[in-house]
Each structure stands twice: as structure tokens, then as C-alpha cells.
Amino acid sequence: MTMEVAIWGVGTSDFGVFPDRRVESLAWAAIAEAIADAEIRPDDIEAIIFGSVFGPPGVATRVQRGLGMRAVPVWTIENACASGTTAYHEAVQAVRQGRFECVLVVGVEQMSTLFTGAIVPEATDPEGATGLPLPGLYALTAARYMDEHGLTPEQLAAVAVKNKTNGMDNPRAHLRGEVPTIESVLASRPIADPLTLLQCCPTTDGSGAVVVGSGRRNSRDVLVESSALVSGRPWDQRSDEVWGFACVRRAAEQALAQAGRKITEMDVLEVHDAFTIGEITTLEALGMTEVGRGGELAASGYTQRDGRQPVNPSGGLLSRGHPLGATGTAQLAEIVWQLRGDAGPRQVDRHRVGMVETMGGGAAGMDGNACVVTILST
């Protein structure tokens, strides 16, 4: 027998640079909000699953102890940028199978004390051995799209303008400066041609928490219609597809099939936009448009907050920031707030069905490390 699964509560910390805060402190902020939002007691939690890429050993147990919670199973998942949503996916499966009735999911990362520049893949990977950082890998995809599909710099910049405009209405976003224009995005400091500074996510600290429970108890609980986790498959540079595309596509196909829905039914989406080209290729992989047409879609207004299918009303990774393990849980929190109608000035008009997509960085010879896609509804 499979159980109905719902999200009972969500919470996040502020996102920014907090070198003087402990990782546990970041996590506690999100957990306290999620527990209060779910209207449960800490003793109602039967298991805790953490998602973190660079978190110190034993961080989950230290967080549990600091909250004064009873002894329950605790474990941590590392799955690159998809760590937080992978932890959520495992919680959903555990509740659906009847193993637990209430699971706390926590994503946390403190990036500012670890990195002073761009993250570089492992030295054992060909890209890492040559010192090619992640902005460079995404820039290669953008350059290829420009050559093969006629993607323009202005279409890339349109993603940054949209998400940074959305982020201005997110009080917890890392970057909330002056609203950029296409011209100012393109004129910002070059990082990896054709990507400029305003087209790259910042290095950010933060956390998110999600309470996953058995069934909906009231109208505020959000139904988990489906959750799909897909790992990468063998791939090399001779592939006709860009890096990560197939991983996202397969996860989306599975999630949509499980829910019995079409991508056109999604009212609002939070997707992995670590770089502007990432949102464009993701829109294509999700099936929102044809391959090579993602730039046109991004520049058309279709994905604006007042468009037909708003994408990243939170401001996305480009504005909120990208604390790797916390990103997926922050995306989940935003979609829950949107579906409840609790997103304040970020609120979209149609908000019955939402999707979260998080793609984890790849390893050499793989088309992507992992991707999680989940569909939620009221």
C-alpha cells in the first residue's frame, strides 16, 4: 500500500555571505520556520535527511542535538547541486512506503568560507585537470548554442534581467541591487565568454527545510503528485546534446508520467539557473519549447512572473544565490509559498500546480550527476 504524501511545512534562512555563522545556525533558522509552519512539535519528526555537498562531517547529528530532538534516524546525502532535492526525494519515498509518517528534510551549505572564486571540477576529471571552472563549462554550452541555434547575447541577458527583477521582491535573496537592463547585463564584467558577471550565480550561504508528511491534514498542506530522481548516463563531447540536457529531460518525463500531467499544466516553476544558459536549456529539456528555441522563449515574456508559465519567481539561483545543498529545498519552499498564495509581491496569478527541477553538476563521462523533478499541487 502506498501512502499519499504532502509537504506540511517549509522554511528558509536568509541567503547571503555569513562567514561568522556556524553551519548549524544556518540550518536551525530554516528548521525552526518549517516546524512552526507545519504546526508540529520536534518530537513528531521520525527521521531527518540532510542534503549538503561540503558540510562538515556529522553536521546533521549536531543540528539534531542542538535542537534538543529525540533520537531518530539521521543521514546526509551528497548529490552535487541536487543534494537537497535528493534528500527530499528520499523522504517522499520513505513516507509513501509507510516507513515514516513525518520526515524533516534540511539542505544547508556555507560556501563563503570554502571558495573565493569559481568552483572547479575534480582534478581527476578532464575539465578539472585543465583548470576549467563551472562558468567555463556553461559558457561552452552557450557558445555552442549561439553557433548552432542562433542564440543571441540579448536572449541570454533576458534571463538575468527577469530573475534579478524577480529577486528584488524576495527579501531573503542574496542579490537585491539595482534592477539590471539587457545593456547592463551585457556590460558587466566578463567571466567566461559569452557569460558576464550578472549571468552567473553568486557564492552564497544559506539553508532550507521541508517537512514531508503522510497525507494532507488541511488546505495548507501541498500534495506531492510525483518525484523523479535520475542519475547521469555515459556521455562524451561527441554527443549531439549539450551537457546535462538528457538528465533533465528523463527526470521531467518520469515526473510528468507519474503525475499523469503535461508540462503545459505547470502554473509556476523553479528551475536550476546557476547560469543564464542553464535556464534556457532546461526549458527545452522540460519540453516547454523545441530544442534551439529556448532563447526565444526566454526573451518573449512567456516565463515572466506575469507570463503564461512563470519561471523562477523567487529570483532563482541568479538572485537568491546557490548554496549547493540548500538550493533544492529553497526551490521547494518557493513553490509551496506560491501554491498557497503566500508569496507576497512575488505571487503569480495561476498557482494550482507547480514544478521544481534541480540538476546536479556532472562528472567526466556522464551527462549530469543527477536531476530531481517534482510536481506539487493544492
> Taking the CB of residue 378, how many other CB atoms lie within 10 A of it?
18
What residues have CB less than 8 Å from 218, skipping those under 6 apart?
A: none
| Residues with a known catalytic role | 81, 322
Question: What pLDDT is recorded for position 318?
Answer: 98
Residue type, 360: G
The residue type found at 377 is S
Q: Which CATH number fits domain 3-112+199-370: 3.90.1150.10, 3.40.47.10, 3.40.50.1100, 3.40.50.300?
A: 3.40.47.10
What is d(CA 323, CA 15) in angstroms, rounded to the nearest whole number? 8
With H, G, I as helix, E, B as strand and everything else as coil, classify residue 265.
Answer: helix
DSSP 3-state of 205:
strand
Grid coordinates given for 42: 520536534
Q: Using the structure block, give the residue that is written with the C-alpha cell 553568486.
A: 202
- In this structure, what C-alpha cell is assigned to residue 161? 534581467
Using CA atoms, how far residue 162 sits from 20, 26, 273, 308, in Å, is: 32, 28, 12, 14
CB atoms within 10 A of CB 144: 14
Q: Is the dihedral of CA 230, 231, 232, 234 positive or negative?
A: negative
Question: 301 by DSSP, 3-state: which?
Answer: coil
Q: Phi/psi of residue 326, each to 5°?
A: -90, -15
Domain ranges of the chain: 3-112+199-370
Tell me the pLDDT tens digit for each residue of 108-166: 999 988 866 556 555 555 554 444 678 888 999 999 999 999 999 999 999 999 999 99
Amino acid at 89: H
Asked if 31 contacts 126 with a C-beta cutoff of 8 angstroms, the reply is no
pTM: 0.94
Q: Taking the CB of residue 322, how many other CB atoms lie within 10 A of it?
A: 26
* pLDDT at residue 129, as a whole number: 45
Determine the 3-state secondary structure of 86 from DSSP. helix
Q: What is the pLDDT along the chain (378 residues), one digit of tens a residue?
A: 678 999 999 999 999 999 999 999 999 999 999 999 999 999 999 999 999 999 888 888 888 888 888 789 999 999 999 999 999 999 999 999 999 999 999 999 999 888 665 565 555 555 544 446 788 889 999 999 999 999 999 999 999 999 999 999 999 999 998 889 999 999 999 999 999 999 999 999 999 999 999 999 999 999 999 999 998 665 555 556 666 688 899 999 999 999 999 999 999 999 999 999 999 999 999 999 999 999 999 999 999 999 999 999 999 999 999 999 999 999 999 999 999 999 999 999 999 999 999 998 755 555 567 999 999 999
Neighbours of 234 (CB within 10 A): 8
Q: How far is CA 193 from CA 135, 186, 190, 259, 277, in A?
A: 9, 11, 6, 39, 12
Nearest by Cα to 348 from 264, 265, 267: 267
Rounded Cα distance between 59 and 23, Å, is 8
Rounded distance between C-alpha atoms, residue 361 and residue 232, angstroms: 10
Burial of 99 (0-12, 13-18, 19+ CB in 10 A): middle
Q: Where are the alpha helices (DSSP H) in the chain?
A: 23-38, 59-67, 83-96, 126-129, 134-149, 153-167, 182-187, 245-259, 276-285, 294-300, 316-320, 324-340
